[in-house]
Amino acid sequence: QPRSTFLTTLYGRVLLGKLAAVLAVGALGFVNWRRPRLAAVLVELTIAFVVILALTAWISDLEPPSMAH
């Protein structure tokens, strides 16, 4: 069951965390586009560069789950 691997494997959980971080950056980007605030911009940049890059580095070191049946 491919969908269950997102919750049961470390690779899947890191991938879901990265997706959540990308969605958070998108939401903060929308907020900053509507009404820019320095604090929100700094949070957005921190999430974008530190968190997403760290998760990308981590996931590139993990082995994807096998899709074989």
Q: Which residues contact 44 (CB under 8 A, 6 or more apart)?
A: 25, 28, 29, 32
Q: Residue 69's pLDDT is what?
A: 45
CB–CB of 44/32 below 8 Å? Answer: yes
CB–CB of 21/47 below 8 Å? Answer: yes
Position 1 pLDDT exceeds 70:
no
Whole-number mean pLDDT of the chain? 85
Residue 63's pLDDT band, with cuts at 50, 70 and 90, is: confident
Q: Residue 37's pLDDT is what?
A: 86
Place of tokens 């911009």: 41
Could you read off the pLDDT of 34-59 as tens digits, one per residue?
888 888 888 888 888 898 899 999 99
